[in-house]
Amino acid sequence: MNLIIDLSKEPCLILKQGNKKISSHQWTGLYQLSETLLLEIDTFLKKNKIKLKDIKEIKVIPSKESLVSTRIAKAVALGLKIKP
């Protein structure tokens, strides 16, 4: 299962298995990403009854408007990939 953080327009989380889109969630607040991203990911995964360990890959589609938001999303993705 893959999690995609899409920042190309408004922030959007997409859950895919192979090439099949399972679910997506979009919210406003590209410039408040540092405050909202982790909470939105947690809520999104709980809503879809997915555990973080079930996510094999996290991808970030960068924003053309905000380099800082892209960096935040990439840092969160790297942090979530780390296995204890």
The tens-digit pLDDT sequence of the chain (84 residues) is 999 999 999 999 999 999 999 999 999 999 999 999 999 999 999 999 999 999 999 999 999 999 999 999 999 999 998 765
Q: Are 28 and 10 in contact (CB under 8 A)?
A: yes
Angle between helices 67-81 and 33-47 (to 10 degrees): 50
2-81 adopts what CATH topology?
Nucleotidyltransferase; domain 5 (3.30.420)
Q: What is the pLDDT of residue 82?
A: 74
- The residues that bridge with 5 in the sheet, in sequence order, are 13, 60
Extents of the domains making up the chain: 2-81
Q: What is the pLDDT of residue 81?
A: 87
Q: What is the pLDDT of residue 84?
A: 56
